[in-house]
Amino acid sequence: MSTLSIQTAPNISSSMAPTFLLVGMPGLSAIPTWWTIPLITVYFLCALGNGTILWIIALEPTLHHPVYVFLFLLSVSDIGLATALTPTLLGLALADAHIIPASACLLQMFFVHVFSVMESSVLLAMALDRTLAICLPLHYPALIGNGVVIKIGLAIAFRCLGLHLPLPFLLAHMPYCHPQVLTHSYCLHPDVARLACPGAWGAIYSLFVVLSVMGLDPLLIFLSYGLIGRVLQGLGSSEERWKAGQTCAVHLCAVLLFYVPMILLAIVDRLRLPIPQAAHTLLSYVHFLLPPLINPILYSVKMKEIRERIFKRLQPRKVGCAQ
């Protein structure tokens, strides 16, 4: 591709160039419309599934409890993440558009990471909720009330915005010593920061943001499951253990869906493992698009209250005949 070869030529600059170059799925540039249909289908299913969860929880007063409030926030982060990624993915699929303006790249980067951190923070809050419910069942209603849930929601919002609001401005004014060619089909701040000159403190702040969230959250989540596992071992009957474990199964699946591809992608990027570019790109799609697609299905199937209210809302209402 001629545009690609021109843009990847060495270009040492003291400031950010007006455009970045995105990497699409190798082998599909000649037939970009081939993967448009599955991409649009995945986004439609993400929006439909998470929109249904949001609709049910918002309209059902009986679901206005901490576990469902956290599920509501999880669906917001899922649909926001899928929406933030879609413009560049559709641009690549429909028009093979690899070039993106720097301003649009920084804006996409901001929203992708805000919703990613929101999802990670909500998964951590859900793990805390499950830990208190199983380890301290008698004190749970007093520990996790509506006031506490509101404070947790505000803390999540402050964490997302406070950590990431400075990044676009820092990255826009950093010195760059590498060609501005990204390794993904969308803009991520570690990907942009690695193009900066050595010692740029904006890149150091970017690394701090990644480690403070994506390194700390999974560690705390798995520590919480260690506490839950100890409590489950102490329960008298296998039936009680099964019942308590079922309340954590769907959340644990959501955690694995979000973190396992992310960890694999980080290992591949940091160690520069020699895997095909197509596999690397596909893994990045799985990391960002699989949780928004699968989470609504998991929670709708596994949580009886959500499933029953979906069926109830979808049933046609009976209209009485006038006498």
Q: Please name the helix (run of DSSP H) or strand (run of DSSP E) that holds residue 136, with its range, or none.
A: none
Quick check: is 321 in a domain?
A: no
Give which of 81, 40, 50 is closest to 297, Cα–Cα. Answer: 50
Give 78: exposed, middle or buried? Use CB within 10 Å, 0-12, 13-18, 19+.
Answer: buried
How many Å apart are CA 284 and CA 89, to the nearest integer?
12
- Provide the domain count of the chain: 1
Quick check: is 314 in a domain?
A: no
Cα Dmax for the chain: 83
Quick check: is 253 in a domain?
A: yes
* 35 CB-near residues (< 8 Å, 6+ apart): 25, 28, 93
Kindly give the confidence (pLDDT) of every residue in the chain, 323 residues in length, as a single tens digit, with 9 standing for 90 and above.
Answer: 434 433 443 444 556 678 888 887 665 555 556 678 888 899 999 999 999 999 999 988 888 888 899 999 999 999 999 999 999 988 888 877 888 998 999 999 999 999 999 999 999 999 999 999 888 888 888 888 888 999 999 999 999 888 888 888 888 888 788 778 888 888 988 888 888 777 666 667 777 877 777 788 999 999 999 888 888 887 666 766 777 677 788 889 999 999 998 888 878 777 777 777 777 778 888 888 999 999 999 888 777 778 778 777 777 665 544 44
Quick check: is 130 in a domain?
A: yes
Residue 149: what pLDDT? 92
How many Å apart are CA 280 and CA 299, to the nearest integer?
29
Residue 114: what pLDDT? 93
Residues in the chain: 323
Residue 69: what pLDDT? 93
Residue 316: what pLDDT? 67
Q: Are 47 and 86 in contact (CB under 8 A)?
A: no
Residue 9: what pLDDT? 39
The DSSP secondary structure of 44-93, one letter per residue, reads HHHHHHHHHHHHHHHH-GGG-SHHHHHHHHHHHHHHHHHHHHHHHHHHHH
Q: Are 290 and 262 in contact (CB under 8 A)?
A: no
Residue 265: what pLDDT? 81
Query: Phi and psi for 108 in degrees, rounded to 5?
Result: -65, -45
**Residue 266 lies in domain:** 17-307
Quick check: is 10 in a domain?
A: no
* 158 CB-near residues (< 8 Å, 6+ apart): none
CATH code of the domain in which 275 resides: 1.20.1070.10
Quick check: is 224 in a domain?
A: yes
Quick check: is 79 in a domain?
A: yes
How many Å apart are CA 140 and CA 65, to the nearest integer?
12
Give which of 247, 264, 27, 53 is closest to 131, Cα–Cα. Answer: 247
Number of neighbouring beta carbons within 10 Å of residue 245: 16
Residue 2: what pLDDT? 38
Quick check: is 166 in a domain?
A: yes
Q: Are 297 and 278 in contact (CB under 8 A)?
A: no
Residue 169: what pLDDT? 86
How many helices (H) and strands (E) the chain has is answered by: 13, 2
Residue 185: what pLDDT? 86
Give which of 140, 129, 128 is closest to 67, Cα–Cα. Answer: 129
For residue 297 the two structure tokens come to 């299905």
Number of neighbouring beta carbons within 10 Å of residue 39: 18
